[in-house]
Chain A
Amino acid sequence: MPLSMAKIGEIFQIKKIGGREETRQFLETLGFVAGGNITVVSEINGSMIVNVKDSRVAIGRDLANKIVV
């Protein structure tokens, strides 16, 4: 399912990251890699703050939709 539907506080594994090449590469350098763990810290209407590799990253709803967990 897309990350935007994930519940707060649960640990998920990233299955796939879609979207434009450039954005995907940037996400990868921030630690969003397939196989890695991700936890949602906070959520406002689909936009989220997530915990990836111990850093907190805020992502917009459109990106949260493209991350499959």
Chain B
Amino acid sequence: MAVRIALAGNPNSGKTTLFNALTGSNQFVGNWPGVTVEKKEGKWKGDKNVVIIDLPGIYSLSPYTLEEVVARNYLIGERPDVILNIVDGTNLERNLYLSTQLMELGIPVVMAVNMTDLLEKEGNQIHRDQLALKLGCEIVEISALKGTGVNEAAKKAVAAAEQKAAQSVHAFDKCVERVISSVEAKLDSEIPQEQKRFFAMKLLEKDQKIAELMNNAPDVSDEIQEMEEAFDDDTESIITNERYVYISNIIKDCITNNSKKKLTVSDKIDRIVTNRWLAFPIFAAVMFLVYYISVTTVGTWVTDWTNDVLFGELIPPAIEQGLLSIGCAEWLIGLILDGIVAGVGAVLGFVPQMLVLFIFLAFLEACGYMARVAFIMDRIFRRFGLSGKSFIPMLISSGCGVPGIMASRTIENDRDRKMTIMTTTFVPCGAKLPIIALIAGAFFDNAGWVSWSAYFVGIAAIIGSGILLKRTKLFAGEPAPFVMELPAYHMPTVGNVLRAMWERGWSFIRKAGTIILLSTIVLWFLMRFGWSAEGFGMVEELDQSILAKIGMCIAWVFAPLGWTQGGEGWKMAVAAVTGLIAKENVVATFGMLFGFAEVAEDGAEVWGRLSAVMTPAAAYGFLVFNLLCAPCFAAMGAMKREFNNVKWFLFAIGYQCGIAYLVSMFIYQFGTLATTGVFGVERSFFMGTFITAAVLIAAVGLAVRSMIRDKKKGKSLQCGDCGSCKGCH
């Protein structure tokens, strides 16, 4: 029989590091059923019969966050054989709060005290035997980072699982204990003896979700009343307080506190890095450095090498020779070389640059700075209805939207997380940069402002969406208050940084191998097959192809955006549609549509042809459309997974495309007005200007209406919100 060890602990306690140290590469990553909380399972390196389940990092077993509910449902429902509770030795008091709850579950607990080396460096000491005696469970000192003691911890856990004896549980105040026993007596035989205490306490805490789990939850209102009258407080606070009293009582005897330093090194760094005046300049400098290195210097070298050497001189000729030597049909060689290798190669060309960016971001996250960035940015983001925690997904999205969307998981508040998923891909990702280069080169003489403005448009779209969406019913209300534990600054290990980088990079590479591979094959067929004079078959002229027919059918939609003016609107339409599959496709599609077999990354060959069929205003609009509209298939897939709800997913996609269409139209219509004195011309004139005007009026109306509503309300908060009025005290 396999032994199941559940790994539980606070966020930042080193849980993931311990999990990696115990399991190595024997990991399986999935989701907890029904929710988007990541579930990691692995086999212990020391014994393949031991399965380790990594529970989400939690502070308690209360019903307030998704992670806590997931963790406790697992612990109650699946009953692992043993809980390995990792606690941060430098922060024992707070970490033991969760431990006291874990010990009430009636499952054997083994405690791994992490970072004791740091503690000793500060001159403090934990008396392990004393602590083990008081808590009634096995205690192992470990350093997850260095890997010391981790296998001993796993061995002790396995031993505890085999003994099956759950530890005796701590006692609280007499009155509290009496009430708990009285509730325990009311529980029927459905609840096993060893779990009675947990259920009794949860009922006293008025935990609805636990009551729902029970078939017949007894009525405990008398007990609750008795306790609340005795302590003049609500039951939840009483029990919380009891836990801390208990913890501080045992901790007195178990820790020798010799540190005289009032300020730790980490605090000293925080004094500077999160200083009122220096926080922003330091943050700006760090970001500049990260992007300068990963985009301009190192990034360019590695990208050039992959594009020119790896996917230029090395791979394609080798494949061509290989195919020729086995006598492959010419059309198939065309498909493989022009379609698959060129398409997938173009995507993989971004990988090295992206990995460089992700190394930096992983380092900033692991060393603790990223959490401070969320704190610094919160003040600004709050004004637009977003949380500071939304900033990290956005930074990652500047590399690739897929890991960016996945990074939104760290945001606890559901509303904030949904908003982040919807808006984070407005940030230009690596794959959108060639489109920017194409438009800048073809229409604006390579002006630098084009790329700067692209980021500006992305940020403006996020801010605008924040303000706009908060005014809708879906996102109404204040953003959740900002609370975030900050890990102490520390030097991360190379392995952990590389692992984090690889996890994100891999989600991008996987997309190149699946969705983009498939789409390039489909595109190739759509482009090479069609109706000619001889009927359906392979066609020479592109405008006879299926793709051209599709483009011509939908081109009218984009008339108000000015794409059809030059009579070749279907090409823009086709490029935009391929962009929905993958933004990397856009430049290559233009290349093929204008008759070039292969184009440079910025599509320099087609600049002349492109500028002949679109005005600069329409072209800039085209760029903005591609920046803002629904991202590629891979990112859409990530959005669907993260929303875990089809309606939300469709709403988000519709919203993104709608915003892209409107903004693009504004740019074309007003751009044309500014340059020529009239709105967009010809057929599109009436329709375009009409819609523009209607949207303007609607937007102003909406804003005015909600402002009036706000004024009427007079910012009346619900009682209990302000913390300073009579009702709150």
Residue positions of A touching B, CB distance < 8 A: 2, 9, 16-23, 25-31, 33-36, 41-45, 47, 49, 51-63, 65-66, 68
Contacts and interface: CB of A to CB of B under 8 A. Distances in A.
A42 B31 CA distance: 37
Interface string B465-491: 000000000000000111111111000
B477 to A, nearest CB: 11
Contacts of B532: none
B318 interface: no
Given A41-B267, A55-B91, A56-B485, 18 more contacts: A18-B728, A21-B720, A22-B64, A23-B483, A26-B59, A26-B64, A26-B65, A30-B59, A31-B94, A44-B279, A47-B379, A49-B270, A53-B91, A54-B93, A55-B485, A58-B486, A59-B484, A66-B724
Interface string B241-276: 100100000000000000000100011001100111
B244 to A, nearest CB: 5
Contacts of B712: none
A28 B486 CA distance: 16
B204 interface: no
Contacts of B64: 22, 25-26
A59 to B, nearest CB: 5
Contacts of A19: 481, 720-721, 723, 728
Given A18-B722, A43-B276, A49-B486, A60 B94 contact: no
21 contacts: A2-B724, A18-B724, A18-B729, A20-B721, A25-B62, A25-B64, A26-B62, A26-B483, A44-B276, A47-B379, A53-B94, A54-B93, A55-B91, A56-B266, A56-B487, A58-B374, A58-B484, A59-B481, A59-B484, A60-B481, A60-B482
Nearest to B387: A60
B379 to A, nearest CB: 6
B720 A56 contact: no
B724 A65 contact: yes
Contact of B240 (A18, A20, A28, A52): A28
A60 B378 contact: yes
B60 interface: yes
Contacts of A17: 723
Given A19-B720, A31-B97, A42 B482 contact: no
Interface in B433-451: none
B296 interface: no
Contact of B382 (A20, A41, A60): A60
A56 B93 CA distance: 13
A51 B27 CA distance: 36
Contact of A30 (B94, B275, B276, B724): B94
B563 interface: no
Contacts of A36: 244
Contact of B267 (A30, A33, A51, A63): A51
B376 interface: yes
Interface in B347-388: 371-372, 374-376, 378-379, 382
B122 to A, nearest CB: 10
Main SS of chain A's interface residues?
A: mixed
B481 A56 contact: no
B90 interface: yes
A49 to B, nearest CB: 6
B720 A20 contact: yes
Contact of A59 (B98, B262, B276, B483): B483
B90 A58 contact: no
A42 B269 CA distance: 10
Contact of B482 (A21, A55, A63): A63
A30 B375 contact: no
Contacts of A53: 91, 93-94
Nearest to A68: B723
Given A16-B729, A25-B62, A47-B379, A30 B723 contact: no
A45 B721 contact: no
B568 interface: no
Contacts of A42: 270-271, 274-275
B453 interface: no
A54 B728 CA distance: 28
Contact of B274 (A27, A44, A52, A54): A44
A44 to B, nearest CB: 5
A63 B484 CA distance: 12
B414 interface: no
A57 B486 CA distance: 5
A10 to B, nearest CB: 11
Nearest to B718: A20
Interface in B226-246: 236-237, 240-241, 244
A41 B92 CA distance: 19
Given A33-B244, A53-B91, A41 B481 contact: no
A27 B237 CA distance: 11
B723 A66 contact: yes
A29 B723 contact: no
Contact of A45 (B59, B62, B236, B379): B379
B378 A47 contact: yes
B276 A29 contact: no
Contacts of B721: 19-20
A57 B484 contact: yes
B723 A18 contact: yes
Given A53-B93, A56-B485, A58-B482, A29 B274 contact: no
Nearest to B271: A42
A55 B379 contact: no
A41 B270 contact: yes
A41 B375 CA distance: 13
Contacts of A43: 276
Given A44-B276, A44-B376, A55 B94 contact: yes
A29 B59 contact: yes
A31 B710 CA distance: 36
Contacts of A22: 64
Contact of B276 (A25, A26, A45, A55): A45
A21 B237 CA distance: 10
B94 A63 contact: no
A43 B275 CA distance: 7
Contacts of B240: 25, 28-29, 33
B482 A47 contact: yes
Contacts of B266: 56
Interface string B64-92: 11000000000000000000000000111
